[in-house]
Structures are given as structure tokens and as C-alpha cells.
Structure 1
Amino acid sequence: MRDGGGRAISIIGFIGSVFSPWYAWSGRRDPQNHVCINVATYGPGGRFTMTDRGRPALRQCADKFTVGPSSMHWQAGRLVIDVDEISAPPLVSRVRGTITLTPSALTSVEAALTPDASHIWRPFAPTCDIRVDLEAPGWQWDGHGYFDANFGTRALEEDFSQWSWGRFPLRDGSACFYDATLLDGSQLSISAHFDKTGAASETAPPPKARLPRSLWAVARETRADNGVQPQQVQNMLDTPFYSRSTVQTCINGEASIGVHEALDLRRFRSRFLKPMLACRVPRRAGWSFS
């Protein structure tokens, strides 16, 4: 998120692109044949890119992850992300430039999201500085960011009905909240605080607080102090099954604006949704690095 608000960016690297209809239609048998670096920019001139690429586009080593024309690599303690993608309709254009993420510290925290650890959350760097430098007017800015990862051995919709997640910057670090309902009706609740040295602690979560439904009527909730009504500040991504936005809340008396996500896996399971997604997620199986 840009300091002062108004613009934001998200980048997700996928091996086994969990929201790709092509990966689902393939039976999810070969995750390395469905890879992607998804880039979405929010604010004036915002774009969405999510190209499902085949195995020839993937290269990996200890400190670099490459998918076709885009890559992520570690350099002097910073995560440098070079992007060169084409955005999805209706605003088809090139999204090209560099995003640099500088963590205040790296954590060793790992949390299981299901009883058998079929899904793992790994918040590598909950508190970061970010520098965005894209080849577009107004897309050169500094702000605060976040770096995490999720790993899974089953499809999300095989284990979850819905979930919400939020990361909120605080004076001394960041707070993260994970709330989910599993298919068997059991509840997951994670409330964590990370200071600027990377030290993590479980905290008593503030009460749940409802947010208005998204434009596609996805149910949303987050955490807030008693008597506080969280508010959406900026709508970022709105789909029939997924909502991402910036939200203002209050945590232990401290006001914060952070990123919030809500996911409805019951909707995502619908066979009617996959053709809709294919319009936004093109498949490009071939690639040559030469």
C-alpha cells in the first residue's frame, strides 16, 4: 500500500495456480505445468494480470523464482520482483517494472490451517517497506508491505467453506488475523502479532466485526475493538468468490488501515464459475527463454 493511500499492488507467485480454471480442468495432477506470477495494481490506471503458464516457463533455484518474463529474487536482503506481463480484458496493456520489498525482519513462524496440516501458512515477513517502480504514470511510489506464503496438498475447496484474512500495520509491527470455516463446520482462528524484529506472539483476538458484503455479495468480516465498526477504504479486487480491499479498523486502541481478503469456497466450487475465470486467466502453455 502506498504511504497516504490511494494506490496498492499485490503480487502472487503460484506453482499449481489454485485459482486457475486450467489447473482445475487438468485434475491438478501437475502443478509445475500451471505456474503464474499474478500482478494486480489498484488505483488510477489499475490492471490485473494472471497468465497460467506451462512447465517450460518455470525456473527455480535457491534464491530466484522465474515464470516466463517475470521473476522474484533475493538481493542483499531484499526481495526484488521484476514483472513484464499483459493485463486481462477489458484493459489490455503491458504491466512492466520492478517492485522491491525490504523486510524489517524474517520470521520462522509456520501455522497449520487444518488439523492434518494439509494447508500451511508461512508469514515470512509481516512488516516490510515497499518501492514500486512501474512503467506507467503515477506508479512510482513508496509504502508498506507484507510477504507470506501458503502451501497445500489439497485444493482449498476440498477443506474450506470460507475464510477471511487481514494484515494491519501497527506502530511496533503488524497484526494478522485468519478466520476460516472448514467443510466439517469447525472453526479456525489465528491472531498473531509480529514486532519489527520478527518476533511473533499469539494474541487474544479482538471481537469479530462484520463488513458490508462486497459488490458480488461475498460475506465479509474482520476483527475490531469493541464498539468499533470497520470500514472499507478502497475496493481492490471484487469477484463472485473473492474480495480484496483496504479496511480501516482499530486494534487495542490503535487505528490501522490494512489489507483484507474474504474467500467463499462454496461459490468457487461451482462448475459455472470456471468458464468465467478463463476469460480473465489466459493459458499460455509454451515458452522459450532463448
Structure 2
Amino acid sequence: MSADGSRAISIIAFIGSVFSPWYAWSGRRDPENHVCINVATYGPGGRFTMTDRGRTALRQSTRTFTVGPSALHWEGDRLVIDVDEIGAPPLVSRLRGRISLHPHAVTAVEMPLTPDGAHIWRPFAPSADISVDLDAPGWKWQGHGYFDANFGTRALEADFTYWTWGRFPTRGGATCFYDATRRDGTHLACAVRFDATGAARVVTPPPKAPLKRSLWQVRRETRADLGFSPHQVKPMLDAPFYTRSAVRTSIDGEITTGVHEALDLRRFRSALLKPMLAVRVPRRARWKFD
């Protein structure tokens, strides 16, 4: 998110493109044949790109991850992302440029989201500085960000019905909330506080607090100090099953604005949703590097 809060960007690199209808229709048997670098920009001139590509587009090494024309790579202690993608309808246009992420610290933390460890959350860098330089007016800025990952051996909708996640910067580092309802009826309710060195400590989360439903009426909630009403300050991504936004809340008396996500897996399981997603997530099975 930019320092003034007016713009934001999210980048997700997939092996096995979790939200791709093409991956679902394939039976999820070959994740390396469904790879993607999803880029979404929020603010004036915002774009969304999510192209499902085949295995010929994938290249990996210990320091690089490439999918077709876009790539992530480490330069010293910075993660550099070069993007060259085409925005999805209705705003079809090229999204090109470079994003640099400088973690304040890298953690050694992993958290299982299910008792058997089939789903893992890995918060690599809960706090970071970000520099954005895209080929578009107004899209050269600095701000704060984070870097995390999720790993899984089963489909999300196989194990969860609903979850929310939030990452909120604090004076001493960042606090993350993970709340999920599993299909077996059990619940995950976790709060993790990270200090400036990346050290993590599980803490007692503040009470749940409702947020106004999204435009697609996805139910939303987060955590907040008792008596404080959290609220959205910037809309980001709004889909029939998923929403991402900037939310202001209060944690231990500190007012903070962070990124919040809510995911309704019951909706995502619907077969009717997949053709809708295919419009926004095109499939490009073949790619040739020069």
C-alpha cells in the first residue's frame, strides 16, 4: 500500500492456480501445468491480471520464479518482481513494470491451518518496504507491504467453508489474524504478533467484530478491541466468493490500517461460478521463451 493510502498492489505467484477454473476442470492433477502470476492494482487506473499458463511457461531456480513474461527473483535481500501482463476484461490493457520488496526481517515461522498439516501458512516477511514503478501515470510510489505464502495438498474448498485473514502494521512490527471454519465443524482462531526482527508470538486475539458485507454480499468480520467498530477504508478486490480491502481497526489501543481478506468456500464450490471466472482468468496453455 502507498504511503498516502491512495494506491495498492497485490501479487500472487501460483503453482496450481487455486482460483483458476481451468485448474479445477483439469481435476487438479498437474499443478505445474496451471501456473500464474496474478497482479492486481488498486486506485486510479487499477487493473487485474490472472492468466492461467501451461508448464512450458514455468521456470524455477533457487532465486527465481518465472511464469511466461513475468518473474520474481531475489537481488541480495530484495525481492524484485518484473511484470508484463494483459489486464482482464473489461479493462483490457498492458500492465508492465517493476516492484521491489525489501523485508524488514524474514521469519522462520510456519503455521498449519488443519490438524494434519494439509494446509500451511508461511509468513516470510510480515513487514516490508515496497517500491512500485509501473508504466502508467501515477503508478510510481513507495509504501509498506508484506510477503507470505500458503501451501496445500488438498483443495481449499475440500477442507474449509469460510475464512478471514488480516495483516495489520503496528508500532513494533505487525499483527496477523487467521480465522477459519473447517468443513468438519472445527474452527481456527489465531493471532500472531511479529516484532521488528521477525520474531513471532502467538497472542490472545481481540474479540471478533463484524464488517459491512462486500458488494457481492460476502460476509466479513475481523478482530478489534472491545467497543471499536472496524471499517473498510479502501475497496480492493470484490468477487462473488472473495473480497480484499484495506480495513481500519484497533489492536491493543493502537489504530491501524491493514489488508483484510474474506473467502466464502461454499460459494467457490458452485459449478455455476467457474464459467464466470473463466472470463477473468484466461487460459494460455502454450508459451515459448526466446
Same topology, TM > 0.5: yes
Q: Which residue is 2:72 aligned to? A: 72
Secondary structure at the aligned position of 2:271 is classed as coil
> Residue type of the partner of 1:117?
G
Partners of 2:53 and 2:194 in 1: CA distance: 35
Partners of 1:185 and 1:245 in 2: CA distance: 27
Question: 1:230-245 maps to which residues of 2 (within 5 A)?
Answer: 230-245=230-245
Aligned residues, how many? 290
Secondary structure at the aligned position of 1:279 is classed as helix
Q: Which residue is 2:119 aligned to? A: 119
Partners of 1:119 and 1:199 in 2: CA distance: 22
Q: Which residue is 1:272 aligned to? A: 272
Give the superposition deviation at 1:11.
Answer: 0.0
Q: Which residue is 1:36 aligned to? A: 36
> Residue type of the partner of 1:151?
F
Secondary structure at the aligned position of 2:280 is classed as coil
Q: Calculate the aligned-residue CA RMSD, in Å.
A: 0.4
Partners of 2:194 and 2:246 in 1: CA distance: 20
Give the superposition deviation at 1:190.
Answer: 1.3
Q: Which residue is 1:17 aligned to? A: 17
Q: TM-score, normalised by structure 1?
A: 1.00
Q: Which residue is 1:85 aligned to? A: 85
Give the superposition deviation at 1:274.
Answer: 0.1
The one-character-per-residue Cα deviations of 1:170-223 (angstroms, maximum 9, x if unpaired) are 111000000000001110011001111111101110100000110000000000
The one-character-per-residue Cα deviations of 1:33-67 (angstroms, maximum 9, x if unpaired) are 00000000000000000000000000000010000
> Residue type of the partner of 2:164?
S
Is residue 213 of structure 1 aligned with residue 205 of structure 2?
A: no
Q: Which residue is 2:106 aligned to? A: 106
Partners of 2:104 and 2:93 in 1: CA distance: 34
Q: Which residue is 1:4 aligned to? A: 4
Partners of 2:40 and 2:201 in 1: CA distance: 31
The one-character-per-residue Cα deviations of 1:244-283 (angstroms, maximum 9, x if unpaired) are 0000000000000000000000000000000000000000
Partners of 1:92 and 1:171 in 2: CA distance: 40
> Residue type of the partner of 1:38?
N
Give ranges in structure 2 of 5+ residues lacking alignment.
Answer: none
Give the superposition deviation at 1:76.
Answer: 1.1
> Residue type of the partner of 1:196?
A
Q: TM-score, normalised by structure 2?
A: 1.00
Q: Percent identity?
A: 72
> Residue type of the partner of 2:42?
Y
Partners of 2:289 and 2:105 in 1: CA distance: 34
Q: Which residue is 2:283 aligned to? A: 283
Q: Which residue is 1:204 aligned to? A: 204
> Residue type of the partner of 1:101?
L
Partners of 2:116 and 2:257 in 1: CA distance: 33
Partners of 1:141 and 1:192 in 2: CA distance: 29
Give the superposition deviation at 1:4.
Answer: 1.3
Q: Which residue is 1:178 aligned to? A: 178
Question: 1:138-177 maps to which residues of 2 (within 5 A)?
Answer: 138-177=138-177
Moved over 6 A (4+): none
> Residue type of the partner of 2:67?
V
Secondary structure at the aligned position of 1:198 is classed as coil
The one-character-per-residue Cα deviations of 1:224-246 (angstroms, maximum 9, x if unpaired) are 00000001001100010000000
Give the superposition deviation at 1:6.
Answer: 1.1
Partners of 1:196 and 1:289 in 2: CA distance: 40
